[in-house]
């Protein structure tokens, strides 16, 4: 059982559509991070959220940390083919990070 | 700055062989990590080093050993490789524990 559950596991949409992916846990985290990973490469950090209820925007991407610091969401507005990739959330607690299994997003032109 | 580098990029081993995966970072980070990534499983932490001179087990440490050689380098050793260790291995570093991690390009390992 994953400590962090991500949904959906796969998502295929058309260019221009909006989407939201989720990262849920029963554990409380001191911080939560979102990464994007492209085939054959390592994950690249998108954002870190640390305060319950925090919302951060990165161009067309909006990240929210749940009030109880147990869950997070990533919303993409007007998705583009360049958004295609594996989106991973990671929660920090004690001295280590735990990753979810990821949402694999495909944006078709 | 090269960031996080890993060697080798690819490796094929026979069951029972040993090998060491090398990782180095040039960002003066305190913490370093080794993960494995398998389809549908996400990234699973094998070992981490919160600071130079310390190492701790992660989620899946069995069959692996690590050495934090200095602040820059963190190696992962497979003493007797098994087919279940076929995976993609990523090294990462961060300024301190639970802060943003920077990943290397990965090592693809196949154990026959």
pLDDT in tens, B52-62: 989 999 989 99
DSSP state of A47: E
A98 close contact with B: CB closer than 8 A: yes
Q: How many A-B residue pairs are in contact by the CB < 8 A criterion?
A: 66
Say which residues have a Cβ less than 8 Å from residue B43's Cβ, sequence separation at least 6: A43, A88, A90, A99, B35, B36, B37, B90
**Per-residue pLDDT tens digits for A69-99:** 999 999 999 999 999 999 999 998 776 778 9
Residue B96 has pLDDT above 90, yes or no: no
Contact state of A97 with B56 under an 8 Å Cβ cutoff: no
d(CA A16, CA A31): 31
DSSP state of B86: -
d(CA B67, CA B107): 17
CA distance A96 to chain B (A): 6
DSSP state of B73: B
Contact state of B98 with A30 under an 8 Å Cβ cutoff: yes
Q: Between A30, A90, A95, which is nearest B50 by CB?
A: A95
């Amino acid at each position: 059982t994953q400590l962090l559950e991500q949904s959906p596991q796969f998502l295929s949409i058309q260019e221009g559509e909006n989407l939201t992916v989720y990262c849920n846990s029963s554990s409380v985290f001191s911080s939560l991070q979102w990464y994007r990973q492209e085939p054959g490469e390592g994950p690249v950090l998108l954002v870190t959220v640390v305060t319950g209820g925090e919302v951060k925007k990165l161009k067309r991407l909006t990240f929210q940390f749940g009030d109880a610091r147990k869950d997070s969401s990533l919303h993409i507005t007007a998705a583009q083919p360049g958004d295609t990739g594996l989106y991973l959330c990671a929660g920090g607690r004690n001295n280590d990070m735990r990753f979810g299994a990821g949402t694999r997003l495909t944006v078709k032109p | 700055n090269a960031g996080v580098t890993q060697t080798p990029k690819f490796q094929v081993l026979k069951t029972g062989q040993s090998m060491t995966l090398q990782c180095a970072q040039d960002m003066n980070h305190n913490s370093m990590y080794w993960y494995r990534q398998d389809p549908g499983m996400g990234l699973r932490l094998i070992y981490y080093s919160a600071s130079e001179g310390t190492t701790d087990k992660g989620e899946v440490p069995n069959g692996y050993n690590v050495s934090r050689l200095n602040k820059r380098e963190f190696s992962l050793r497979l003493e007797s490789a098994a087919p279940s260790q076929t995976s993609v291995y990523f090294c990462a570093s961060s300024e301190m524990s639970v802060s943003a991690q920077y990943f290397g390009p990965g090592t693809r390992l196949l154990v026959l």
